[in-house]
C-alpha cells in the first residue's frame, strides 16, 4: 500500500538558524586565526538580544559582539520593524575557557593519539533517490527556502518578504519505495503587513508562492522529479494566517535545535548531537560528516542503493567503540552488512585525527553549513577573508563540504570487486 513521507526545512532567518550561523561564524573566526582552537559555542537570540556562551581554548582573541552583528545583518535583520537587527541588538558574551577535565582526554602528545571529544553515536546516510544522494522530500524543502531567500534579496518579483520562513514537503511512495507524486507542500513565510485587508493579503501571498516561487524551484529539478509536481498538490501557505511577527522577536532561537533539518529530514537515523558551534574534535560533528562521506561513496560505488552508517565513541578514546552498516536490503554485493562494515574499516580510519585530516576539518569551513542542511551540497573551493582588530586581516583558501566528495568510489569498487 502506498505511504506518505514528510520532511521540513527552515530558512536562514529562522531564529534557531540565526543562532546556528552566529555560532559557526565564531568557530570559523577562531579556526582562521588558530587552527587548533577548541570551540563549543552556543548562541541564544530573542527580542533585541543575543547571548553567546560556551567553552573555548584558543591562542586568538575575537570581537565576538561585532561578528554576531555582521551575521545578523547578512541574514537580513536590518530594520527596526523586525524588533531584532544587527545594528541595534544587545550582544552579551559569556564564553569561557574549556574545562581541563575535557581537554586532557582529547589533547595528546601526538596528533594521531587524539581522543574523541565526547561519547555518543553518530549516523551518516545516503540514498540513490536524488542526484546528490539525499532524501527527496528534504532536498525539495531546502530548495524551496533557498529560492525564497533569493526572491527576498532580489526584492523584485515579491517585495514584502521578511527573513523568517519554513517549508515542508510530503511525498507519496509506492510499496517498493519509489516516489510517485508530491502530496502536499507547506510554506510559511514572514512578511510585511502590506494590506489592511488580511484576507486579500494572504491570497496574494499564496498566489505568489504557487505561481512565482514553485516554478523557480521546479525548473532546477531533474525531469523525473518535475513529473511529481501534479495538479493535485495540496498547498498550505501561511496556514495560520498573517505572519508579520517573526524571527527572534517572535520565537527565541537556540543553537542546535534543528538537527533533523541539518541532516536527513527524518530518513536514516540521528544520534542526537547537534553540529553548529563545535570544532571537529567534537565527534558529534566530525564523525557525522565522516559517516555521510562513507555512506555516499558506498552508494555511488554501487555497493547498495541506500546506506546507513553508525559509528560510536567513548570520550578520550582514540578508536571508535563500534561501526555498523545497514543497507536496508538494497545491497548489490554478496556480503552481509557486518562483512561490508569490516571492509569499510579497512578503507576508512575513523579516529578523530584521521577524520580531521581526511576531510580538512581544521579549516574555517562551517558558516556555509549552518543553513539549508549540512549535507547534499556541492563541494567547492573558496577564498575567505577574516578581519580582527586584534589579529589583523587573513586570507584563507578553503575547500567546503569535503564530506560530499566522491573521492573513494574507485577504492571501494576495488575492495568490493565491483
Q: Please give the annotated binding residues for K(+), written as ranges.
A: 42
Annotated binding site for L-methionine: 55, 98, 251, 282
Contact between 322 and 122 under an 8 Å Cβ cutoff? The reply is no
Q: How far apart are CA 119 and CA 269, in angstroms?
A: 17
What are the binding residues? 14, 16, 42, 55, 98, 164-166, 242-243, 251, 257-258, 274, 278, 282
- What are the start-end ranges of the E strands in 98-252? 120-127, 161-173, 179-191, 234-237
The tally of CA atoms less than 13 A away on the side-chain side of residue 402 is: 17
User: Which residues, at least 6 apart from 320, have a Cβ–Cβ distance to it below 8 Å?
Assistant: 116, 287, 311, 312, 313, 350, 351
Let me know the angle formed at the C-alpha of 290 by 285 and 292, rounded to the nearest 5 degrees: 95
Asked if 135 and 264 touch (Cβ cutoff 8 Å), the reply is yes
Burial class of residue 174, CB neighbours in 10 A (0-12, 13-18, 19+) = exposed
Q: Are 192 and 79 in contact (CB under 8 A)?
A: no
Going by the annotation, the residues of the binding site for Mg(2+) are 16
> At 36, is the secondary structure helix, strand, or coil?
coil
HSE (CB half, 13 Å, CA atoms) of 14? 25
Amino acid at each position: 500500500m502506498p505511504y506518505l513521507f514528510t520532511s521540513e526545512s527552515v530558512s536562514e532567518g529562522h531564529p534557531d538558524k540565526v543562532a546556528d550561523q552566529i555560532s559557526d561564524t565564531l568557530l570559523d573566526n577562531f579556526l582562521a586565526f588558530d587552527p587548533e582552537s577548541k570551540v563549543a559555542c552556543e548562541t541564544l537570540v530573542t527580542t533585541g538580544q543575543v547571548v553567546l556562551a560556551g567553552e573555548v581554548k584558543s591562542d586568538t582573541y575575537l570581537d565576538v559582539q561585532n561578528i554576531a552583528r555582521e551575521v545578523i545583518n547578512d541574514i537580513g535583520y536590518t530594520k527596526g520593524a523586525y524588533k531584532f537587527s544587527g545594528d541595534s541588538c544587545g550582544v552579551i558574551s559569556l564564553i569561557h575557557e574549556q574545562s581541563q577535565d575535557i581537554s586532557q582526554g582529547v589533547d595528546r602528545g601526538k596528533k594521531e593519539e587524539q581522543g574523541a571529544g565526547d561519547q555518543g553515536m553518530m549516523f551518516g546516510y545516503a540514498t540513490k533517490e536524488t542526484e546528490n544522494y539525499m532524501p527527496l522530500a528534504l532536498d525539495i524543502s531546502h530548495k524551496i527556502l533557498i529560492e525564497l531567500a533569493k526572491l527576498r534579496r532580489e526584492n523584485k518579483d515579491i517585495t514584502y518578504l521578511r527573513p523568517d520562513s519554513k517549508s515542508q514537503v510530503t511525498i507519496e511512495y509506492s510499496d517498493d519505495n519509489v516516489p510517485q507524486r508530491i502530496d502536499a507542500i507547506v510554506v510559511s513565510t514572514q512578511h510585511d503587513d502590506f494590506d489592511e485587508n488580511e484576507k486579500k493579503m494572504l491570497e496574494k501571498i499564496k498566489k505568489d508562492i504557487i505561481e512565482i516561487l514553485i516554478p523557480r524551484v521546479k525548473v532546477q529539478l531533474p525531469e523525473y522529479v518535475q513529473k511529481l509536481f501534479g495538479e493535485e498538490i495540496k498547498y498550505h501557505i501561511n496556514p495560520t494566517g498573517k505572519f508579520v511577527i517573526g524571527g527572534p522577536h517572535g520565537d527565541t532561537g537556540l543553537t542546535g535545535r534543528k538537527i533533523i533539518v541539518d541532516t536527513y529530514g527524518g530518513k536514516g537515523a540521528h544520534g542526537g548531537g547537534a553540529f553548529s558551534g563545535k570544532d571537529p574534535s567534537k565527534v558529534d560533528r566530525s564523525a557525522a560528516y565522516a559517516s555521510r562521506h562513507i555512506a555516499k561513496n558506498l552508494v555511488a560505488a554501487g555497493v547498495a542503493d541506500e546506506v546507513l552508517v553508525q559509528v560510536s565513541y567513548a570520550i578520550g578514546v582514540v578508536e571508535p567503540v563500534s561501526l555498523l552498516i545497514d543497507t536496508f536490503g538494497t545491497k548489490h554485493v554478496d556480503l552481509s552488512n557486518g562483512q561490508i562494515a569490516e571492509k569499510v574499516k579497512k578503507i576508512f580510519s575513523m579516529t578523530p585525527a584521521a577524520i580531521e585530516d581526511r576531510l580538512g576539518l581544521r579549516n574555517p569551513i562551517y558558516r556555509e553549513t549552518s543553513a539549508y542542511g549540512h549535507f547534499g551540497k556541492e563541494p567547492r573551493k573558496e577564498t575567505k577573508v577574516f578581519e580582527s582588530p586584534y589579529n589583523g586581516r587573513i586570507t584563507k583558501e578553503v575547500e567546503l563540504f569535503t564530506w560530499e566528495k566522491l573521492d573513494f568510489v574507485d577504492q571501494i569498487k576495488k575492495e568490493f570487486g565491483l
